[in-house]
Amino acid sequence: MLGRVNHVAIAVPDLAAATASYRDTLGATVSAPQALPEHGVTVVFVELPNTKVELLQPLGTDSPIAAFLDKNPSGGMHHICYEVGDILAARDQLIQGGARVLGTGEPKIGAHGKPVLFLHPKDFFGTLIELEQV
Amino acid sequence: MLGRVNHVAIAVPDLAAATASYRDTLGATVSAPQALPEHGVTVVFVELPNTKVELLQPLGTDSPIAAFLDKNPSGGMHHICYEVGDILAARDQLIQGGARVLGTGEPKIGAHGKPVLFLHPKDFFGTLIELEQV
């Protein structure tokens, strides 16, 4: 079921400082910040040769990463996103295997304009997993 | 400086259960467990098309992931490893940029038989970064 690692998402309290660190200290290629108000984050893409890292900063009053940053004020790795070919087939197979899908269970349109789902971290050893249909 | 994402490491309290979950529930290709006593972990490789995830379980009494699992008993994403071409040049550039290298500052031979270094998570927004020379 799992395809490529689409991205690793890192929540940070200060996106400008984190972007400068990845660009200047680590020598990576970084995008301009993109505000995604419908997802409650501003994102900077760190482009690596085989995948990308997404630096996320909360945007607005109801950000899905606010609680994580309350618990981890310095920031940290927030989730990993895997690509799947058919997100509904993947979801049904996961539920049959006993995994819990967050929210309504229906895919939403994610930050890349494609259908996504999140799986309960308690079912995957503390790791929040996003699935994205590509 | 940063090259490919070599792997994302996930610490887990029960490697057999995590391996079964990635293999059976998520449908991924997983390796046999490999004990690495000199690194204080047993590892299972989850092979994805563009990179890999490493599931780590503490091995022995002085495991480098024991404190992480004390703090995160269910497990969680532990570090991300980037490839670099010249680890000594990368280290010197990082130190010049104000980043701290863990331990003595000299590369050790990592789990893949190649020189590795770890960077202080406080300098990278809560993310433990491993560099591996390839």
Among the partner residues B12, B50, B125, nearest to A125 by beta-carbon distance: B12
- The structural domain count of chain B equals 1
Residue span of the structural domain in which A27 resides: 5-133
Contact: A127, B75; criterion CB under 8 Å: yes
Could you confirm whether B54 is annotated as catalytic? no
pLDDT level of residue B15 (50, 70, 90 thresholds): very high
Active-site pick, A38, A54, A106, A130: A130
pLDDT level of residue A81 (50, 70, 90 thresholds): very high
pLDDT at A68: 96
Closest chain B CA to residue A99: B25
Q: How many angstroms separate the CA atoms of B20 and B42, rounded?
A: 15
Q: How many angstroms separate the CA atoms of A130 and A66, rounded?
A: 17
Q: How far is A112 from chain B (nearest CA, A)?
A: 19
Sort out which chain B residues have CB atoms less than 8 A from A98's CB and list them.
Answer: 25
pLDDT at B111: 85
Q: How many angstroms separate the CA atoms of B37 and A52, rounded?
A: 32
The whole-angstrom distance between residue B20's C-alpha and the CA centroid of its chain comes to: 20
pLDDT level of residue B40 (50, 70, 90 thresholds): very high
pLDDT tens profile A92-118: 999 999 999 999 999 999 888 999 999
Which residue type is seen at B58?
A: P
pLDDT at B59 over 90: yes
Sort out which chain A residues have CB atoms less than 8 A from B54's CB and list them.
Answer: none
Lowest mean pLDDT across B11-20, B21-30, B105-114: B105-114
Mean pLDDT over A32-53 rounds to 97
Among the partner residues A24, A28, A49, nearest to B97 by beta-carbon distance: A24
pLDDT level of residue B133 (50, 70, 90 thresholds): very high
B111 or A26, which is more confident: A26
Closest chain A CA to residue B27: A1
Among the partner residues B1, B24, B55, nearest to A97 by beta-carbon distance: B24
Q: How far is B96 from chain A (nearest CA, A)?
A: 9
Among the partner residues B27, B75, B80, nearest to A125 by beta-carbon distance: B75
CATH number at residue B120: 3.10.180.10
Contact: A25, B77; criterion CB under 8 Å: no
Residue A93, SS3 per DSSP: helix
Q: How far is B5 from chain A (nearest CA, A)?
A: 7
pLDDT at A6 over 90: yes
Whether B1 and A28 have beta carbons less than 8 Å apart is answered as: yes
> Structure tokens of B54?
């490493």
Sort out which chain A residues have CB atoms less than 8 A from B20's CB and list them.
Answer: none
| Greatest C-alpha distance within chain B | 46
B85 exposure class (CB count in 10 Å sphere: 0-12, 13-18, 19+): exposed
